A and B are shown apart, each in its own frame.
Chain A
Amino acid sequence: MPTATPSPKKKKVNRIGLELPIYRGSKTTLCAGCGHNAISERVVDACFTMGIQPDRVVKLSGIGCSSKSPAYFLGSAHGFNAVHGRMPSVGTGAMLANKDLVAIGVSGDGDTGAIGIGQFVHLMRRNLPMVYIIEDNGCYGLTKGQFSPTADVGSTLKTGVVNDLAPIDTCALAIELGATFVARSFSGDKKQLTALLKAALSHRGIAMLDVLSPCVTFNDHEGSTKSYSYAKSHEEPIEEIDFVPYFEDITVEYEPGTTREVTLHDGSRLFLKKLDEGYNATDRAQAMRVLRETRARGEFATGLVFVDPVAEDFVTSLNLVDEPLASLSEGRVRPSRSVLDDIMGGLR
């Protein structure tokens, strides 16, 4: 386990005494300016600030540009780069083996929306405790820019090919499937994305973040609806988010009636300042309405779209013993001789 080494310069340490570099990963091999790198930095920030123990984290991914990124943050955490679109099942198995792990899954729009839609659907439905980030750029970067299932109608490839199939809205789908924390953000929105990631880490259950993350090489041109300029001009935050971790006191006073407070599983609090009058992020129907309406206007809503902070997660529902299953001793998992005798007795 990485521990804080006392430094003569008194470097900045987080609340568990670790320095920031411990939360970094290896050097990125993605394109310069790739939105995914910004997301990796936000994950580093969020985990450092929250004082997450790196050796409790498992980083999981499928295949694609997005799925390379877990190598670029939390280098001292275990990682698993699985097969295309099937990371949710690997994450599920890992969480069953050790329910104390903090699972951070990184997927892409192809890895989730196309080949992995089946596992995505069941991951949401099971409400597995996991932060699931879709680094969404509307195209397959690693195979040189083909459309993915989140590409908008009318969006064009660099070659001029126009997408004429309606996109899958992963947020709307997740809400429909019973996901308990659904957010959308933009890799360029540092403040919002960091707040959402911290909140996601404080949530017990599936925390799905669809993060628009432009592909600078294949999908950042005029005519693309996943480019930096398009995202900047069409992002429509639904609320201003203040995240107050469970280990800090509130320092800001909120004017009554303007802000909604949500207490997350670990005691951290979210203060959501309403921009849309009356918006309530704990209301599934409203969340669906906002997604639909902003989409109809050609905008995309960002922020915490939906949250249910009290629903029971999948692992908890299994009522497992307190210790992780993986570390149970032989005496706890191999029944005694008398059990075998009992079974044999019933079969004589």
Chain B
Amino acid sequence: MPASDLAVEERPSTSLTKPVVNDFSIQVATVNGSGSQTANLVLLRSIFQMGVPVSGKNLFPSNIAGLPTWFTIRANKDGYIARKKEIDVLVAMNAETAREDVLGLRAGAVVVYDEPLKLDTVRDDLIFYPVPFDTLVGEVSRDVKLRRRVRNMIYDGVLAKLFGVEIDEMEKALRKQFGTKPKVVEINREALDVGYAFADAKLEKRDHFRVEPMEGNQGRILIDGNAASAVGCLMAGVTVVAWYPITPSSSLCETLISYLRRYRVDKKTGKATFAVVQAEDEIAALGMAIGGGWAGARSMTATSGPGISLMGEFAGLAYYSEVPCVVFDVQRVGPSTGLPTRTAQGDVLSTAFLSHGDSRHPLLFPCSPEECFEMAISAFDLAERFQTPVFVLSDLDLGMNTWMANEFEYPDKPMDRGKVLDEDTLERIGRFGRYRDVDGDGITYRSIPGTSMPAYFCRGSGHNEWGQYSERSDDYKKNVDRLTRKFETARNWMPAPIVEINRKARIGIVAYGTTHWAVVESRDQLVAEADLQTSYYRLRAYPFRSALASFIERHDRVYVIEQNRDAQMSTLMRIELRAELAGRLRSVLHYSGEPIDARSITDDVLIQEGYRVEYSAFSGAVPQDAGVGGE
């Protein structure tokens, strides 16, 4: 059994005496294409509106309709929003997976299920609430089509009653979802009421999970990372967008397009301050972004791993000919097609060195919607400042799931368009040489086509500092050494890490992107369960700052926690660290396709630190091969 499947005893969330308030996870198992997403988002949003910190994670198949899908909502008063490994409440709507789903639960968990599935015969250590959905939906409508659409809303009504989610908050959430369609709101509200009334009349509350209003979410919004990136691109003043549809990045460009149409079209003339092209493939998408960046636009594309692979040659061209553009990589699982609808941080190395020869690219690692927004803006500034492609490495968990976030702050700095040649500069520097390092920082001046400034020939073949074709060894070496210098300059322009030094800590943790949320929770678990203090360095960009080496220096062992098999960030770090420091690195790796959870990190760190990790009550109660689909 892999270490990540071990678990120590949870805090007593299953105690029969004390109510558990605002601290549990609900998993809804349905079939994709059945309209369950609406019911799930309404449930999520209504808990959010009650002020309870909440997160929602959708585990879905690469398919349009008919395959199993699981939506997990976690409510947590302490603000832990990473995926919780254990499920407290299961809503079993999918006959196909119901048995396995139930077998995967820990003892004492709650199951709300479609009555004909007779799940109460599977186990006797769970709390079962059977609900006759088909009978109940008959009370809502006779229309077969409508019934199918609102059937899932009934479980929201049941859950509202069972756990104390306010039904008016649910209606408010419904209105948010279907604002312009009062009839749709009305019939869904009826379904809510039917579920609520049924639970009120027929179900005796036997569990102790409760939602109670709190003041946790002032100034917060609910948004997915792709939409947050889109808002960032909008505010960054993007002008050329080229893209090719690929899960999980498509919604980034689609959302961006809707914002651009709304906010970047002149109301009087109907004319746009942006151009969007759906390209023929990812290669063309990056080619267009490069052409746009070369000609002076703020240009971008968004993709995922397979697209990154295809973009390799163009990425090298943009690196070597020094053309700014922004590439969002919303990472998904695996080599090749892999698991297109599951999450990972598996493109770190391939993106850092994308293309042949000596190519290197700046990378940004947002961990939250706020950072998707901020880093989108930074990415355009950095791309133009350093005249190079900048990659923003998000992931499916961040990009496609719904997150709580603080409201975004309007950019306080003007756009940085970098070293663009103008009359004054030309007078100052004398003769224009496209690749001539006038300022000593490795960044050269570029002229924009169509602006009357001296022209140059942009090329991926060898060139000297005047931009002329050259195969001379000294020209080549001088130029790529300057590119190294430019990369060095970039270090201190990249978003700084967030570092938390704990003076008592002998061990440090390094993480990046969405792994952060599980790390926050795990660090608390390490203290609570083993009195193990940790310091924390959250990487936010590559190239790294010198602070990274200092951080490692302070600690005996440093755990690099990431969501890939091959310890990619750790490998990237080792390239730069001196051997003595590299030797202090350990890895915690999570690569199942599910978002990383705190429990897995805690157990792994404890084992590596020599602690004995005990089986939890529920892992002993469940066969090892069960629960495959349920998590």
A93 touches B289 (CB 8 A): yes
What residues on A are CB-neighbors of B275 within 8 Å?
96, 315, 318, 320, 325
Q: Using a CB-CB cutoff of 8 Å, which residues 101-144 of chain A contact chain B?
A: 101, 118-119, 121-122
Q: Which of A36-44, A73-81, A283-291 contacts B (4 or more CB under 8 A)?
A: A73-81
What residues on B are CB-neighbors of A238 within 8 Å?
none
Interface string of B561-583 (1 = CB under 8 A from A): 00000000000000000000000
Q: Does A10 contact B (CB under 8 A)?
A: no
Q: Does A1 contact B (CB under 8 A)?
A: yes
A97 touches B239 (CB 8 A): yes
Contact of A79 among B266, B273, B287, B458 (CB under 8 A): B458
Q: Which of B93-101, B295-303, B485-493, B548-556 contacts A (4 or more CB under 8 A)?
A: B295-303
B288 touches A89 (CB 8 A): yes
Q: Does A262 contact B (CB under 8 A)?
A: no
What residues on A are CB-neighbors of B220 within 8 Å?
348
What residues on A are CB-neighbors of B456 within 8 Å?
78-79
B298 touches A333 (CB 8 A): yes
Q: Which of A174-182, A189-197, A268-276, A338-346 contacts B (4 or more CB under 8 A)?
A: A338-346
B449 touches A58 (CB 8 A): yes
Smallest beta-carbon distance A76→chain B, Å: 6
Q: Does A214 contact B (CB under 8 A)?
A: no
What residues on A are CB-neighbors of B414 within 8 Å?
330
Q: Does A55 contact B (CB under 8 A)?
A: yes
Smallest beta-carbon distance B41→chain A, Å: 13
Smallest beta-carbon distance A345→chain B, Å: 9
Smallest beta-carbon distance A338→chain B, Å: 10
Interface string of A66-97 (1 = CB under 8 A from B): 00001100011111111100101111111111
B291 touches A93 (CB 8 A): yes
Cβ-closest chain B residue relative to A91: B291
B235 touches A98 (CB 8 A): no
A326 touches B448 (CB 8 A): yes
Interface string of A9-34 (1 = CB under 8 A from B): 00000000000000000000000000
Q: Does B450 contact A (CB under 8 A)?
A: yes
Q: Does B274 contact A (CB under 8 A)?
A: yes
B contacts with A, residue count (CB < 8 A):
70
B411 touches A334 (CB 8 A): yes
What residues on B are CB-neighbors of A88 within 8 Å?
284, 287
What residues on B are CB-neighbors of A98 within 8 Å?
295-297, 449-450
A58 touches B236 (CB 8 A): no
Q: Does B259 contact A (CB under 8 A)?
A: yes
A82 touches B236 (CB 8 A): no
Q: Does A233 contact B (CB under 8 A)?
A: no
Q: Does A322 contact B (CB under 8 A)?
A: yes
A101 touches B449 (CB 8 A): yes
With contacts A83-B460, A96-B297 taken as known, whether A333 is within 8 angstroms of B271 at the C-beta atoms is: no
Interface string of B615-628 (1 = CB under 8 A from A): 00000000000000
Q: Does A347 contact B (CB under 8 A)?
A: yes
B288 touches A322 (CB 8 A): no
With contacts A97-B292, A334-B411 taken as known, whether A82 is within 8 angstroms of B280 at the C-beta atoms is: no
Assembly CA distance A111 to B457 (angstroms): 19
Interface string of B385-413 (1 = CB under 8 A from A): 00000000000000000000001101100
A343 touches B259 (CB 8 A): yes
Smallest beta-carbon distance A316→chain B, Å: 11
Q: Does A319 contact B (CB under 8 A)?
A: yes
With contacts A78-B447, A89-B279, A93-B240 taken as known, whether A334 is within 8 angstroms of B299 at the C-beta atoms is: no
Contact of A122 among B221, B259, B284, B289 (CB under 8 A): B284
Q: Does A337 contact B (CB under 8 A)?
A: yes
Q: Does A327 contact B (CB under 8 A)?
A: yes
B290 touches A90 (CB 8 A): yes
With contacts A96-B292, A326-B296 taken as known, whether A81 is within 8 angstroms of B457 at the C-beta atoms is: yes
B263 touches A339 (CB 8 A): yes
Question: Chain A interface secondary structure, helix, strand, loop or mixed?
Answer: helix
A96 touches B277 (CB 8 A): yes
Q: Does A252 contact B (CB under 8 A)?
A: no
What residues on B are CB-neighbors of A70 within 8 Å?
457
Q: Using a CB-CB cutoff of 8 Å, which residues 310-326 of chain A contact chain B?
A: 315, 318-322, 324-326
With contacts A71-B457, A89-B288, A319-B270 taken as known, whether A83 is within 8 angstroms of B314 at the C-beta atoms is: yes
With contacts A89-B288, A101-B450, A333-B264 taken as known, whether A80 is within 8 angstroms of B455 at the C-beta atoms is: no
With contacts A83-B460, A333-B298 taken as known, whether A89 is within 8 angstroms of B284 at the C-beta atoms is: yes
Assembly CA distance A342 to B231 (angstroms): 11
- Most central of B281, B321, B410 by chain A CB within 10 Å: B410
Assembly CA distance A55 to B289 (angstroms): 22
Cβ-closest chain A residue relative to B265: A319
Q: Does B461 contact A (CB under 8 A)?
A: yes
A325 touches B297 (CB 8 A): yes
B458 touches A347 (CB 8 A): no
With contacts A79-B455, A335-B235 taken as known, whether A96 is within 8 angstroms of B272 at the C-beta atoms is: no
Q: Does B223 contact A (CB under 8 A)?
A: yes
What residues on A are CB-neighbors of B598 within 8 Å?
none
Q: Using a CB-CB cutoff of 8 Å, which residues 305-340 of chain B contact chain A?
A: 313-314, 317, 321
Q: Does B459 contact A (CB under 8 A)?
A: yes
Smallest beta-carbon distance B196→chain A, Å: 25
What residues on B are CB-neighbors of A332 within 8 Å?
273
A83 touches B313 (CB 8 A): yes
Assembly CA distance A18 to B520 (angstroms): 67
Q: Does A221 contact B (CB under 8 A)?
A: no
A328 touches B291 (CB 8 A): no
Contact of B235 among A89, A90, A334 (CB under 8 A): A334
What residues on A are CB-neighbors of B294 within 8 Å?
80, 90, 93-94, 97
Interface string of B445-488 (1 = CB under 8 A from A): 00111111001111111000000010000000000000000000
Q: Using a CB-CB cutoff of 8 Å, which residues 498-551 of chain B contact chain A?
A: none
B415 touches A319 (CB 8 A): no
Assembly CA distance A90 to B291 (angstroms): 4
What residues on B are CB-neighbors of A86 within 8 Å?
283-284, 287, 313-314
A335 touches B234 (CB 8 A): yes
Assembly CA distance A327 to B422 (angstroms): 13
B288 touches A83 (CB 8 A): no
Assembly CA distance A73 to B163 (angstroms): 76
Q: Supply 14 further A-B pairs (C-beta < 8 A) apart from A80-B294, A324-B296.
A: A54-B455, A79-B455, A79-B458, A83-B287, A88-B287, A93-B240, A93-B294, A94-B291, A97-B296, A321-B271, A330-B237, A333-B237, A333-B238, A348-B221
On B, residues with C-beta under 8 Å from A are 220-223, 231, 234-240, 242, 259, 263-264, 266, 269-277, 279-281, 283-299, 313-314, 317, 321, 407-408, 410-411, 414-415, 447-452, 455-461, 469
* Interface CB pairs A-B, < 8 A, 8: A79-B459, A80-B457, A96-B292, A98-B450, A122-B284, A335-B263, A340-B231, A348-B220
On A, residues with C-beta under 8 Å from B are 1, 54-56, 58, 70-71, 75-83, 86, 88-98, 100-101, 118-119, 121-122, 315, 318-322, 324-328, 330, 332-335, 337, 339-340, 343-344, 347-348
> Closest 10 CB pairs between A and B?
A93-B291, A89-B287, A326-B296, A333-B237, A97-B297, A97-B295, A93-B292, A347-B221, A78-B449, A90-B291
